[in-house]
Amino acid sequence: MKITAQGRYAILAIFDLAHLSHGKAVPLREVSLNQGLPLPFLEKVFRKLALAKVVRSSSGAKGGYALTQRCNEISIGEVLRIVESNLRSTPKKKISKNPRSTPESMSSLLWRQIDERLLGILETITVADICAESYSNSCEKCNCKDYVAEVQSNMANGKPMGCASLIKKA
């Protein structure tokens, strides 16, 4: 699976917006400066996110973008599906009637299954999980503070959640 710069930028920007927004609009210029991301590229990404209703835009002097949902309701997979045109690790190929007939067909089936499982994992990881697991969400105005506290408490008690639960201890 290949995630493009657009997908990586979208995740960084949503992460930043989760910390800054709290229901109020944040100018993309601020997100651009905070994350060191090119503003024109962010504008393109946020147009897609706004069309999908993950963020809402407002114009004017105090305009910008705000999340439309709580951080623990927005998955990383959802963000990537919206901004990435193709999240497959292999190009879509027409599979023959007998999928086991050639090594190429078998390989294509394998990569399709891997893609589906990876996308499934990304659907389970939320913006709040990333905030909590990075211990970067200490904002008193956070709209998913209870969720973040629960994740951090579980982590402190040896019960990782979100993406940390995918990492096996060596």
Contacts of 102 (CB under 8 A, 6+ apart): 96
With contact defined as beta carbons under 8 Å apart, do 167 and 160 qualify? yes
- Is 115 a member of any domain? no
CATH number of domain containing 131:
1.10.10.10
Q: Is the pLDDT of residue 79 over 90?
A: yes
Mean pLDDT in residue range 110-123: 86
43 is a domain residue:
yes
* CA neighbor of 54 nearest in space, from 118, 11, 100, 4: 11
Q: Is 42 helix (H, G, I), strand (E, B) or coil?
A: helix
Domain count, the chain: 1
Q: What are phi and psi for residue 6, nearest 5 degrees? A: -60, -40
Tokens of residue 32, six digits = 């651009």
28: helix, strand or coil? helix
Share of the chain above pLDDT 70, in %: 70
Q: What is the span of the domain harbouring residue 152?
A: 5-87+125-166
Q: Supply the pLDDT for residue 30.
A: 92
